[in-house]
Amino acid sequence: MSTPIIVIGAGICGVSTAIWLQRCGRKVLLIDKGAPGMGASYGNAGLLAHWAVDPVTSPGLWKEAAKYLLHPNGPLFIKWSHVPRLLPWLVRFMANATDADTQRIVQNLDPLLYDTVAQHKALVADTNLARWVADSKFSYAYPTTDAFKADAYSWKIKESVGLVPTLISGREVQEAEPILGSSVQCLAVLEGQGHITDPGQYVAQLCKYFTDHGGKFIQAEVLDITMKNGRVSSVETIDQTFECSHAVITAGIWSKDLMNKLGVSISLETERGYHILFENPSELPRNPMVITSGRFGVTPMEMGLRCAGTVELADHHAGPSKGPIKLLKRQAMAAFPNLQYTGIQEWMGFRPTPPDSTPLIGEIDSTGIYTAFGHQHIGLTAGPKTGRLIAQLIDGQTPNVNMAPYSPERFA
């Protein structure tokens, strides 16, 4: 029997990689210390976000970060005890907050994002999973038209990749989205977008599809990756060692620990994100949106209304904070003043973020070890395409994407 390819991490990137490798005729073993889809893939906003092509590190970040940290309703939080360890990454992250670097990052991200809905539909084609992928519009909800105009730089970036909004203002806002209160007076609406109606179940069912078609999933913690003569030879878990022909690291922020063991220097830190889910909501938005005053996404899902966002810079081993959840609740009720519900679920997860906001996708030297992590806010969006690119590289195909910007060795 042939030696398998081992994919480490069963989030959207890992499961997508496993399925596309399987479709290339490869034997694949998928390993994760948790259940499939229970990391960041579980708790994200569920948005297929081509519009996220403009990075957080825009030229205005210097002023915005200071404003958000000082304002009680700001969506940015920092655990100050983590700052000494965070500082080297933070310096590199903020160094990208220039127009030239923003333009470069956009050019790197757009090939991964522009066809996200089509990539998800290709992943679930000829399966019973298509119901999880929904076509939708997407709206930016602003308090005023002037607030939209103040966001001109971001919209200039979006328009450069073909994203041109339709503006709705005044009373027409509530006609378009009755759930919104009077605090929202302007919508910038993008057509042709999409979302996932239950991200956790979507990824879990994708994993089931993978195993139903001959793949194998093992729930175990990966401790190390063994090399022999400069090539990967096996993956060691807490219980067993598995031989492999190739290994793919798709473990989100936990990939950093494996990369350190391999002696590969990377710059990766955690943007901790939070969500609240309103159970049995009295109303839902017609389409997903972002409430710009609070910088959080709003998505109608099968299990309720999810509001997800905020950024907390803190260690990924630390427990959740109360501040981001309180802020999300306060901001959500301000946006949806008539919303009623029977309960609220709360969640925190880890966005693995490189300082240049560009994922690490590719082979480490010629070791047979590949990376597919570091997607920060766009993991669900770019997961299927990332998996497809990794499968093509391992299968000896030439992707129609320039892979150089995503090199996992670029921080060495």
CA nearest neighbour of 203 among 376, 353, 394, 18: 18
Please report which confidence band the pLDDT of residue 321 belongs to, taking 50, 70 and 90 as the band edges. confident
Q: From CA 188, how far away is CA 190, in angstroms rounded? A: 7
Residue 345: CB atoms within 10 Å? 13
For range 254-260, the mean pLDDT: 92
Mean pLDDT of 180-208: 96
Least confidently predicted of 11-25, 47-61, 220-234, 292-306? 47-61
* pLDDT over threshold 60, residue 1: no
Whether the CB-CB separation of 5 and 21 falls below 8 Å is answered with yes
Residue 183: HSE in the Cβ half-sphere, 13 Å Cα cutoff:
13
Q: Does residue 188 carry a pLDDT above 60?
A: yes
Q: 230: closest CA among 102, 118, 369?
A: 369
- Which DSSP letter does residue 72 get? T
What is the C-alpha to C-alpha distance for residues 94 and 99, in angstroms, rounded to an integer?
12
- The predicted pLDDT at position 70 comes to 59
Hey, where are the domains in the chain?
Answer: 5-41+201-265+356-406, 53-97+131-193+268-353
pTM score of the predicted model: 0.94
Report the distance separating Cα 312 and Cα 60, nearest Å. 19
User: Which of the 8 DSSP states describes residue 183?
Assistant: T
Q: What gap in Å lies between CA 356 and CA 267, rounded to an integer?
A: 9
pLDDT at 61: 73
Which pLDDT does position 69 carry in this prediction?
60
Residues 210 and 22 sit within 8 Å (Cβ to Cβ): yes
Strands (E), 263-315: 269-279, 289-291, 296-301, 304-313
Q: Going by CATH, does the domain composed of 53-97+131-193+268-353 fall within 3.30.9.10? A: yes
Q: Residue 65 above 70 pLDDT?
A: no
Fold designation for 5-41+201-265+356-406:
FAD/NAD(P)-binding domain (3.50.50)
